[in-house]
Amino acid sequence: MTTWEDRINRVWEDAANELVDDDVIARIDAIAAERGADDARAEFERAGARDSAGRPLEAIVLYRRALALGLDAEHEPQAIIQLASSLRNVGETAEALELLKKAREESAESPYGDAIAAIYALTLASSGAPHRALSVALLALVPHLPRYHRSMTAYAQEIGERDT
C-alpha cells in the first residue's frame, strides 16, 4: 500500500519538467482532501501546485494557511521560501523581505539556509537593492569556497553597504 506522502511525491515526479496545469492541481487537491482542510501539509501541497502553475495569488493564501496551521521542520522553511517567492512575484517585496529576514535569523543552520539566502537576494534585487542582494548571495557562497573566505566576506560586506 502506498502512503499519502508517496502519492503526493508521485504527482510531483510525474509533473517534473512539465508545465503544471489544472490536472496536476486537481490531482494534488484530491490527495490533499484526504487529510482535510485543517491539515498544514495538505494546504502546503495545494499551495505548491498553484504556485507551480503560475497562480501566485492563490498560492499565497494557502501558504499562509499552512504556516498558520503549523508545518513540520522539513516543510516550514520550504513554505516560507515559496511564500516569499510568490510575494516577490506579485510585487510584495517588503513583506517578502520581512518574512525572509526572520527566516534567515531563525534558520541560519538549516539545510535550507542557502535557499533562504538565494530568495532573499532575489527579493533584495527586486526591491531596488542590487548591491545588498549581491552581498547576500556572496556571503551564502563563501562557506562553499575552497579558500578566500576572509577576503570574500570582506568584499561582500563592503559591496552590501552601497545600498544603505
Domain locations along the chain: 4-94
Per-residue pLDDT, 160: 92
- From residue 55, how far is each of 48, 51, 92 by CA, in Å? 10, 5, 15
Rounded CA-CA distance 85/80 in Å is 8
Per-residue pLDDT, 65: 98
Nearest Cα neighbor of 62 from 93, 89, 41, 33 is 41
Contact 110, 116 (CB under 8 A): yes
> Over its length of 164 residues, how does the chain's per-residue pLDDT go in tens digits?
799 999 999 999 988 888 889 999 999 999 999 998 899 999 999 999 999 999 999 999 999 999 999 999 999 999 999 999 999 999 999 999 999 999 998 877 789 999 999 999 999 999 999 999 999 999 999 999 999 999 999 999 999 998 76
Contact 137, 151 (CB under 8 A): no
Per-residue pLDDT, 55: 96
Nearest Cα neighbor of 98 from 110, 84, 108 is 84
Looking at domain 4-94, its CATH architecture is Alpha Horseshoe (1.25)
Per-residue pLDDT, 18: 82
Contact 59, 51 (CB under 8 A): yes
